[in-house]
Amino acid sequence: MTALPHVRQIFERLSRGTHLSSDDEPFFSALSSTSFEDYAEYFAPLGFELIRHEREFFYFAPTDPEKVPDTLPRIAVFSYILIDHAANQGELIEDFILGRNFLVSALPHFSLDRYAALLRQVDVHDVADLELILKNLERLGWLKWLGIDEFRFLRPFHRVFDKCLELSTQVASTTDAERPDSSD
Whole-angstrom distance, CA of residue 120 vs CA of residue 122: 5
Burial group, residue 88, by CB count within 10 angstroms (0-12, 13-18, 19+):
exposed
Could you list the residue range(s) of the whole structural domain that residue 155 is in? 72-178
**Whether the predicted pLDDT of 20 surpasses 80:** yes
* Span 113-171, pLDDT tens digits: 999 999 999 999 999 999 999 999 999 999 999 999 999 999 999 988 888 777 767 76
Q: Give yes or no: residues 162 and 80 share one domain.
A: yes
Q: Do 100 and 155 share a domain, yes or no?
A: yes
Q: Are residues 84 and 12 in the same domain?
A: no
pLDDT tens-digit readout, 39-96: 999 999 999 999 999 999 999 998 877 777 788 899 999 999 998 999 899 989 889 9
| The total number of structural domains that make up the chain | 2
Q: Which residues 6+ apart lie within 8 Å of 108 measured at CB?
A: 81, 82, 85, 115
| pLDDT for 3 | 86
pTM: 0.83
Q: Does residue 106 register a pLDDT over 60?
A: yes
Give the residue-averaged pLDDT of 98-103. 95
Does the bond joining 62 to the residue before it have cis omega, within 30 degrees of 0?
A: no
Instruction: HSE, CB side, 13 Å, CA atoms: give it for residue 20.
Output: 27
